[in-house]
Every structure is written in C-alpha cells, then in structure tokens.
Structure 1
Amino acid sequence: MSNDTEVTEVSNNSQLRKFSSLKVIMAGAISGILSAVLLQPFNVMKTRLQNPQISLKDNKQNRHRLIKLLLHIRKHEHISVLWAGTAPTVMRSIPGSGIYFYIYDNIKVNFFSTRSPSNAESLAIGMLTRALTDICVIPLTVIKTRAESGVYKYSGVLTAIKNIYKNEGLKGLKSGLLPVLLRDCPMSGMYVMFYNQTQKLVLQDVNQQQPFYVNSGCAAFSGVLATIMTHPLDVLKTQMQLFPNKYSGIKSAITYIYLKHGMRGYIQGIVPRLLKRAVFAAISWPLYEKVSMNNNISSLT
C-alpha cells in the first residue's frame, strides 16, 4: 500500500513540475510578446544608429543623431517604420523568452533549490542559459536585425529565410552567431549576478514574494549595468549580421569600426538599447518571479 502511495506522490509531483514549467514558459512568452510590440521602436532606432550607411556619416553630429534619426523618419518615411521587424521580433521573442526562463528555472530548481548561488555560479547560470537560447533562435535574430536596419526589404519571415538561404546558404542564417554569443552570454551572466546581488541589498527576505515595483526596480537597474558593459559587442553583432560578406571575422569588424569611426563607433545606439533593456527587464523578470513564487519554487536569490 505504501509503495502505491509513493508511486502516486511521485507521479503527482512530476505532473505538478510539468505544469509549473509550462507556466514559466508561458510567462516568458507573454513578456516576450509585450516587450516585442511595445519596445520595437527602441530596437529599430538602435539598429539604424549602428548602421554606417544611415547614421555614421558625420561624427561631429554624434550627440544629436538620435533626434535627427527620428526627424528623418518622420519627414522621409513614416512613423510605422519604427515597428519594422516586429514580426520576426515577436517570432523570436516568444520561443526565445520561453526557452530562456524554462532553462533558467530548471537549473535553479535542480541545482539551487536549497541554497543561493554564488556570484560565479550566477554568472555561469546566466551565460549557459543565454547560450542555449541564442543557438535555438539565431536565424530569427538575423532576420530581425536586417528587417530593422532599413537596408533589407523582406515581405515576410518565410520569404526572408528563403532569400537568405538561397543567396548565402546556412552561413547567412547563422551569421553573427559568435558576436551574438559574445554579447549575450556575458550580458546575461552579469545581469543574473547583478540582479541577485541587488535583491540581496534591497530586500529583507529574498524568498518572500515582493511588490512588483520592487522587483522591477532591481531588474531595470541590473539591466542597465549589464547593457553598458556589453554594448560594444552589440555594435559588432549588428555590423556582422547586416554585412556578413564584408568582414572575415570579429577582428576585421573591430578594426573597421575603429579606423572609420574611432572609439565612439562602439557606443552607437546605446541610448535606445539602454531604454529597451531596462524596460524589458522590468517587465519580464518580475513576471517570472511572480510565477515562480506561485509555483512554490525557491528563488535563486
């Protein structure tokens, strides 16, 4: 009789865990959709500011480029172009955010259910989670970047995939993967580390559910710090995805940007990216924390 009870408990726990994981995936997907739609203009502005054909022609006007870009769009294009690339962004964000939080949550539950991770462990968790996620969604990342740039005109995501594969092969669909990983892995690792440490400094008990605005503040602050430290890698990523045949590797991209634009070339587009990452973190992580707490899963922090 006791054996039957144990088997039933194991089965129930397994079903509960599957349901909890599904809720985590859904929370990530929902935050991905909201962020993709609401924050897409920041993505477009950032990508265009990093595109030398559009915004790096006059280094003397660097401080006013964001304003000039917006005025240019209003005068010569249409405000709707600020949502260019929304479709691939949404298609990337739904699985991307879902996969990210699913992997993150499983690592947390399986390895850190009884203790908080150290700073080094937090860094490793964030880097591993982001690496696995980026590899899964890299084709959609390429399409998103190109659609936002104004250089490429695709009628749809499937058309873009066919076009890139026809003209560039599989290499085109994974172009910029290395700089994506070099940007995202350190950023995710530093973000998780900063987020955990910020919560420990701000909160009296990190294992109790906190008001949404408290977690949002910790998330936004951590997002800003991680973004500032990794932005030059974002510039490299954008360049190599927009012009994959122009660079033989990361070194040639670094050299080209420096020779043509100097050190300021590595900070192009940082303002809209800071705004986007801060707001995204402020939405997605508190939502995940709420779902995680409701699932009675201990927080990493």
Structure 2
Amino acid sequence: MEGHLVDPDREEMEISEDYPILKSFLAGSFSGTFSTILFQPLDLVKTRLQSPVANNHVCPPKHPMLSTMINIIQKENILGLWRGMTPSITRVIPGVGLYFSSVHYLKHSMDLRDPLTPLQAVSLGITARTMSGCLLIPITVVKTRFESGVYRYESMGQALKLIYKQEGLRGLSSGLAPTLLRDAPYSGLYLMFYTQLKEVSSLALDNKKLITMNFGCGILAGIFASIATHPADVVKTKMQLYPQEFRNAYSGFLFVYNKYGVMGYFKGIVPRMLRRTLMTTMAWTVYEQITRTIGLK
C-alpha cells in the first residue's frame, strides 16, 4: 500500500512545474484581455487621428484627442468608443499569450538568467513579438479597419472574407513591415527599459512595494518605447486602411513626410502612448504577479 501513497505536497509541486509554456500563455492572455477592454477607446482615438477621415477639418482643433472622442460619442454614442473590440480581443488573447509564452520559452531554452543584459532583453522582446505579430497580422488589419470609421464591416468573419476576396493574401497581410517595425522594437525596447529600470530600482521588501515598483518601471519603459516606435505605427495605419495607395512601407513613410513633415510621424502619439504604456504596464504587472503565484518565477 505504501507504494501507492501520494505525497500531496510533492504532487502539488510537480503540477506547478508542469506545462510552464501553457501557464505563461494563459497568464499573458488574462493580463492582456483585461487591459485591452479598459484602454480600447484610446486605441480607437489614435486610429481616427491617423486616418484622413478624422483630419478633414478646415482648422485643426486645439485638442484633437478630446475633439475626436466627443465626435465619436455624438455620432456613435458612448459604446462607439469600443468599436473594434471583437478583433482587439481576438488579437490580444492569442497575441499577448503567445508573446509571454515565447519570452518564457526563449528565456529558459537559452538559459538566460535575471537580470537580463540590455542586449538579451532587446533580442528576447523582438524575437517573441515578431513571432506573434506575423501570425496575427490578418486580425491586426481587421482591427485597424474596424476602428477607422472608413470601413463598415458587419462582423470579423465578413471582414476577413471580403478582404481576402477583394485584395487576396496581400490585403490580409498589408502593413506587415511597419507593424513589425513598430511592435518588435517596441517590445524589445520595453523589455530592455523595464528590466534595467527594475534592476536600478531598490529591491522591494513586500508584495505591495513590488507591484508599485513594477508598475512605475513599466510606465517609464512604455513612454520611451512608444516615442521611438510611433512613426512606424502611423505608416502601418495608412497601409492597412489604403493598401492600394501604399504598396510598401517606404511609400508610406515618404507620403507622411511630404504631406505633414516630421510631425506627421507623431499623429495620435498621445492616445497611443497612454494606451500602450498603461496596457503594457498593467499586462506585465498582472503577468508577473500571476506567474509568481503559480510558481513560474
């Protein structure tokens, strides 16, 4: 009988060590979903500011972000601020999950130890985001078009079918280059700033201080990474909304510069910086707490 006795503590420890990639995926998906729902209005406003439809004023408003939000509420009611929620969630649940599980897998397969060096952090972030970005580019295209107000698709399924029928695979992957130029460096820079800022910060002595430190480091990391990658975000939006006019990233960058000058590369930066910084910070803070709770750290 003794051979069949099971030590509960040992069994619990073995379970916590099983399926670390799956646990990373689930923890990342959970943390990303909550923050996406909360900050979707900021992403919508950012897309509208980068779209010509939202920039046809004779005199630009003094507060474009606020004016855009008021305009959306007046025309589409308050729920209009969450337009594009379905593709956003569809993209985030596997996207953020894939990103965090990829980071976990790459970190452990290459036997990288904390604290990561700046080069290790950048390389890890870029590789993980490139993998998830390439897989989910069709959903990113649909999300951008839903948010823009230019296209009126009835559902995600209809959008995917129409884009494929009218534009082929090229349409479903439009803006891939600037998307990767935006997301991969953002993730790499964010992870670098985040790990370095955490290392510089004094070590927390309890969970409350740890959460505060993680959140503060995440905010600063998000601001730096957002500024560095925003020009690619502007070009990505234009390529995904008007794929016939912008056949490659170079033509998009050139168009923005010729029409708006250097400042054109920073259209919509305030809502994107707020949304991306808060969303990424919350996702990383929640992810770190979950992984610590389930024994992945």
Query: How high is the TM-score relative to the length of structure 1?
Result: 0.88
Opposite residue 276 of structure 1, the aligned amino acid is R
CA distance in 1 between partners of 2:189 and 2:73 (Å): 37
Instruction: Work out the CA distance in 1 between the residues paired with 2:284 and 2:19.
Output: 19
After TM superposition, give the deviation of residue 110 of structure 1 in Å. 2.4
CA offset at residue 297 of structure 1? 4.2
Question: Is 2:39 aligned against 1:39?
Answer: yes
CA contact (8 A) 1:49 1:55 kept: yes
Distance 1:265 1:173 in 2: 26
CA contact (8 A) 1:220 1:277 kept: no
Displacement of 1:75: 2.9
Aligned-partner SS, 1:135: helix
In structure 2, the CA distance between the partners of 1:226 and 1:56, relative to structure 1 (3 Å rule), is: farther
Q: Which is worse superposed, 209-218 or 169-178? A: 209-218
**Aligned equivalent of 2:180:** 181
Q: CA deviation at 1:184?
A: 0.7
For residues 216 and 158 of structure 2, the distance between their equivalents in structure 1, rounded to whole angstroms, comes to 40
Specify the code of the residue in structure 1 equivalent to 2:251. S
2:239–2:247 contact (8 Å) kept in structure 1: no
Contact 2:204 2:210 in 1 (8 A): no
| Match in the other structure for 1:22 | 22
Q: Which amino acid aligns with 1:54?
A: A
Structure 1 residues 297 and 26: CA distance shift in structure 2, 3 A: closer
Q: CA deviation at 1:210?
A: 5.5
Structure 2 length as normaliser, TM-score? Answer: 0.89
User: Displacement of 1:15 after TM fit?
Assistant: 6.0
2:70 is aligned to: 71
User: Kindly tell me: are residues 209 and 48 of structure 1, through their superposed partners in 2, closer, same or farther at Cα, counting changes over 3 Å?
Assistant: same
Pairing 1:55–2:55 present: yes
The Cα RMSD (Å) is: 2.4
User: What secondary structure is seen at the aligned counterpart in 1 of 2:60?
Assistant: helix
- Aligned residue in 2 for 1:259: 258
Query: What CA distance in whole angstroms lies between the structure 2 residues aligned with 1:34 and 1:232?
Result: 27
- Alpha carbons of structure 1 residues 76 and 292: separation in structure 2 relative to 1, 3 Å: closer
Partner of 2:152: 153
> Quick one: structure 1 residues 112 and 295, their matched pair in 2 at CA, closer, same or farther if it must change by over 3 Å?
farther
Residue 130 of structure 1: aligned partner: 129
Identity %: 37
Q: Compared with structure 1, are the counterparts of its residues 180 and 40 closer, same or farther at alpha carbon in structure 2 (3 Å cutoff)?
A: same
Say if 1:195 and 1:218, in contact at 8 Å, map to a contact too.
Answer: yes
Letter in 1 for 2:116: P
Structure-2 change in CA distance of 1:184 and 1:114 (3 Å): closer
Q: In 2, are the aligned partners of 1:209 and 1:293 still within 8 Å (CA)? A: no
Distance in 2 (alpha carbons) for counterparts of 1:30 and 1:154: 27
How many equivalent pairs are there?
287
Q: Which amino acid aligns with 2:93?
A: I
What's the CA shift for 1:13? 8.8
How big is the shift at 1:187?
0.7
Structure 1 range deviating more: 79-88 or 19-28: 19-28
Q: Can you give the 5+ residue segments of structure 1 that lack an aligned partner in the other structure? A: 1-10
8 Å Cα contact 1:145/1:238 also seen in 2: yes
1:205-244 matches, cutoff 5 A: 211-244=210-243
For 1:132 and 1:14, the matched residues in 2 are separated by 30
**Correspondence 1:92-131 to 2 at 5 A:** 92-131=91-130
Q: Does the C-alpha gap of structure 1 residues 217 and 165 become closer, same or farther in structure 2, counting only changes over 3 Å?
A: same
Shift of 1:114: 4.1
Call closer, same or farther: CA 1:56–1:191 in 2, change over 3 Å: farther
SS in 2 for 1:134: helix
Return the offset for 1:65: 1.4
Question: How many Å apart are 1:217 and its aligned residue?
Answer: 1.3
1:6-52 Cα deviation digits (max 9, x unpaired): xxxxx999864443332221111112211221111001000000002
CA deviation map 1:70-110 (0-9, x unaligned) = 23223333222111100000000000011000000112222
Higher deviation after alignment, 77-86 or 150-159: 77-86
Deviations 1:227-278 (A, max 9, x none): 0111111101111111111013112111211221222211111111011012
**What is the one-letter code of the residue matched to 1:38?**
L
